[in-house]
Amino acid sequence: MSVRELVVLGTASQVPTRERHHHGCFLRWDDEGLLLDPGEGAQRQLLLAGVPASAITRICLTHLHGDHCLGLPGVVQRLSLDGVTRPVPVHFPASGEEHYDRLRHASVFHDVTQVHGVPVREAGVVATGRFGTLEAVPLDHGIETYGYRLVEPDGRRMVPDRLAAHGISGPAVGELQRHGRLGDVTLEQVSEPRPGQRFAFVMDTRLCDGVHALAEGADLLVIESTYLHRDVALAQAHGHLTARQAATVAAEAGVGTLVLTHFSQRYPDLVAFEAEAREVFDGELVVARELDRVRLRR
């Protein structure tokens, strides 16, 4: 069964708190399992979330600050320990290659998994697959940073009543899908358009074109909101977003489900993040808590 859901591993920016682990997300997208920005402790948070290392097919790092990548060594080593032998690509900004190599080989272990770095050297498609395309878009954080989005191509959904009306069933359905027609019956006659879904992952950054480009039409947007808007000057200075900024981008971009995360330790309570985002965004809103799961419905 194809499941598309986000698993929140941690929600802290920079330093953990009593309630929050370092940042990290896992995106289950049909057969693909994307680990996004694993901060320290990601290995154990995956365990608590019931996600085995073997579910990870790909890893994306937005940038090489510690709170977004210090969980990588533990995950890399756990993949080997669990005997995963298929390749696991890791995408990261090319200027971070030296640090990536250190994290990849951080300590002594029996290295059996083909974890291989795929440095992002420019904006654009970094991978294609059954999921469609995975694209990297530059952000503005002082250090080279890329956000990512998954873009599924538009497709068509078969309509059972129409298939039945034309007497098409069983293996003939697959044949019709593959060839676009079956005798006189065309694919268009028995199906309806199904828009591809989009997932976007935006952190860390101040407002910039990349934020808008990534968010555009996202069914699910995970975006940093390190600060509340009363601290917008701090956000700007440190290259981060406020909840209001993130929610405004989401509203303008027609986002379906908005997930705010990556909160500064200065805010012990997250209620204000929800209130601030609600003022400008009226879609589904999740102010992320540890181990939250956010399902993306088709």
Based on CB atoms, which residue is closest to its own copies, 18 or 298? 18
By CB under 8 A, tell whether 112 contacts its own copies.
Answer: no
Provide the residue type at 12 as one letter: A
- Between strands 124-129 and 24-29, the pairing is unpaired
Based on CB atoms, which residue is closest to its own copies, 50 or 254? 50
Provide the residue type at 3 as one letter: V
- Please check whether residue 261 is in contact with residue 23, taking contact to mean a CB–CB distance below 8 angstroms: yes
By CB under 8 A, tell whether 162 contacts its own copies.
Answer: no
Phi-psi region of 219 (alpha: psi -120 to 50; beta: other; left: phi over 0): alpha
Q: Which of 3, 48, 125, 165 binds its own copies (CB under 8 A)?
A: 48
For 295, phi and psi rounded to 5 degrees? -85, 135
By CB under 8 A, tell whether 78 contacts its own copies.
Answer: yes
By CB under 8 A, tell whether 237 contacts its own copies.
Answer: no
In order of 4, 169, 223, 243, 266, the CA distances from 64 in angstroms are: 27, 52, 17, 23, 23
Q: Which of 73, 132, 138, 210 binds its own copies (CB under 8 A)?
A: 73
User: 């291989």: which residue's tokens?
Assistant: 116
Q: Which of 30, 31, 37, 67 is catalytic?
A: 67
Q: Which of 118, 143, 232, 280 binds its own copies (CB under 8 A)?
A: 143
What 3-state DSSP class applies to 255? coil
By CB under 8 A, tell whether 141 contacts its own copies.
Answer: no
251 Cβ contact partners less than 8 Å away, ≥ 6 residues apart: 280, 281, 282, 283
Residue 292 annotated in active site: no
By CB under 8 A, tell whether 102 contacts its own copies.
Answer: yes
Applying CB under 8 A, which residues contact its own copies? 14-18, 21-22, 40-41, 43-44, 47-48, 63-66, 69-71, 73-74, 77-78, 81, 96, 99, 102-103, 105-109, 143
Catalytic residue IDs: 67
